[in-house]
Amino acid sequence: MTSARPAQTASLRPRAIRRAEGVKLRKSAPRTKQADWQPPKNRKDPVSILVEQGTHRITALMPVRYARMAASPFAFLRGAAAVMASDLAGTLSAGPKVQSCGDCHLANFGSYASPEGIPVFDINDFDETLSAPFEWDVKRLGTSLVLAGREGGLSESASRALARTMAQTYAQEMAKLAPLNPLAIWAERIDLSAAIAGFQDKQARKKVQSLLDARLESARSHFGLVADEGGTPRLTEKPPLVVRLPEQDDTIRAAFARYLATQPPERAILLSRYTLQDVIFKVVGVGSVGTFCAIGLFATPDNEVLLLQIKEAQTSVLAPHLAPSPFRNQGERVVTGQRIMQTASDAFLGWTHSGGTDEVDGETGTQPIGQRQFYVRRLKDQRLAAIGAEFAQIGLPDYALLCGRTLARAHARSGDVATLSGYLGAGRAFADAIATFSTAYADQTKADWKAFCAAIKKGRISAQLPGTEKKAPEDSNIYS
């Protein structure tokens, strides 16, 4: 894979040499300097960044996106990946790159079933993925933990400790993986039930296991989206956020047809047993609101159902700050990033587009005007996928440890583990620096959120949840 070649080349030298080079990086990029955050004098207005991003999305849904972001500083962080990417681009980087999530916050970790049906815990959102400095994901995750701790009622010191323990666990997991052979690293996965059994908080352990059992049971009923109409399965509308859009129906059906036509023979055989019978549109997430997202119901002649989700993939928020992406289709970028970072990826992953050429602008990496690019996956159980954020509400300290461990494993699949481990070291220098940065950037996020809410109040941007009156920011749960 093009974006992983530098790491692969570096890995062709003995571990001891690569580790020593990682230790040397501490001189050119002191770990204590990873703590630094000071907004530059020419920092771009965050609201302007968000408004510009919105010009590439469905205009009618922007008020929904902004309303969700206005709920709290943490909710704002979720939707402001482009703002933080711009800020991270100006911070210290030691040099090692990894396949980055690009939008690494605590709510983008969750559970899904492996091909064997075992619930695994991993990163579950890759819309912004690109090869990038490893620190960017760590700092964004740390910031989200500080904000979640504050909004969950933890003290300032306890909130800061969440980022520190996450970063320390990240370093420890990298040290654990460094001596392993590449095949062993690639096969490492986190069994969720085993991870829960290791939680230090006994009450959290009991509540989380009970929650997981209930979610696994709900996954067997097609998530309440399928209705049987006279023997024919159909998708169920749940207005205002799961609805039919007849004017867009043909576009999505054509995109699904292109996906089916480009599948490898072994998957094409399986998919040939199903036909597309129904399509429905869905508003998802916070940062994703305004992009096209639809569910396709495929069924056999015996009405056995397969649900596939098709989601628009736009240029990564990291792209303006990195070398041009090698991918012709943004959906291919997302799919490739997911396959690199996840131990057990969806067998139905693929990419497609709405028509026209796949060629992207070589200078900016942007997709062709008028063309929408998509990735396809099996519809994930949102209740199971979102279980991570609910775990966080039950036992945030244990969750911070789990996220740090998970992120290290995801980065180790593409990064030079020995070099990273050499740079990180066994002490607390890196973890302390990440805690300091995360606390400072959490303060920055709160200030940006206040400016964002002021822009809504002044009418500069419109925020409105469908079918509701505008809510005050503090009225919404930070994990919704």
Is residue 428 classed exposed, middle or buried when 0-12, 13-18 and 19+ CB atoms within 10 A define those classes? Answer: middle
Among 81-95, 190-204, 402-416, the range scoring the smallest mean pLDDT is 190-204
Instruction: Compare 436 and 226 and report the one with higher pLDDT.
Output: 436
- Of these ranges, 6-10, 343-347, 419-423, 474-478, the one predicted with the greatest mean pLDDT is 419-423
If you average pLDDT over every residue of the chain, what do you get? 86
pLDDT over 50 at 470, yes or no? no
Task: Kindly tell me if the per-residue pLDDT of 229 is higher than 80.
Answer: no
Q: Based on the fold, state whether residues 35 and 81 are members of the same structural domain.
A: yes
Q: Do both 225 and 184 map to the same domain?
A: no
Q: What is the pLDDT of residue 311?
A: 93
| pLDDT score for 387 | 67
DSSP 297-349: EEE-TT--EEEEEEEE----TTGGGSSPPS-SSHHHHHHHHHHHH-SS--TT-
What is the predicted pLDDT for the residue at 480? 32
283: pLDDT confidence band, cut at 50, 70 and 90? confident
Please, what's the largest Cα pairwise distance for the chain? 71
Same domain, 358 and 293: yes
Does any domain span residue 390? no
126 and 258 together in one domain? no
Which pTM value belongs to this model? 0.88
In this structure, the number of other CB atoms found within 10 A of the CB of residue 451 comes to: 13
Question: What mean pLDDT do residues 401-428 have?
Answer: 96
Question: What's the pLDDT at 381?
Answer: 63
* Residue that finishes a domain, picked among 335, 356, 384: 384
Is the same domain home to 90 and 138?
Answer: yes
247 vs 306: which has the higher pLDDT: 306
Range from 84-88, 217-221, 341-345, 350-354 carrying the lowest mean pLDDT: 217-221
Cα dihedral across residues 100, 103, 106, 108: positive or negative: negative
Q: Are residues 260 and 373 in the same domain?
A: yes
With a CB cutoff of 8 Å and minimum separation 6, the contacts of 122 are 109, 110, 111, 112, 189, 190, 341, 342, 343, 344, 406, 410
- Examine the domain organization and report whether 175 and 72 are in the same domain: yes
Residue that wins the pLDDT comparison between 309 and 368 = 309
Residue 469 or residue 220, greater confidence: 220
**Per-residue pLDDT at 1:** 37
Q: How many domains does the chain have?
A: 2
Residues 16 and 143 in one domain: yes
What integer pLDDT is reported at residue 290 of this predicted model? 67
**Shared-domain flag, residues 141 and 246:** no
Evaluated on CA atoms 355, 361, 365, 366, the torsion sign reads negative
Kindly report which listed range (144-158, 220-234, 316-330) carries the lowest average pLDDT score.
220-234
- Residues 59-72 have a mean pLDDT of 90
**Cα dist from 291 to 127, 268, 476, whole Å:** 11, 27, 23
- Host domain of residue 258: 219-384
Q: Tell me how far apart the alpha carbons of residues 337 and 172 are, in angstroms, rounded to a whole number.
A: 24
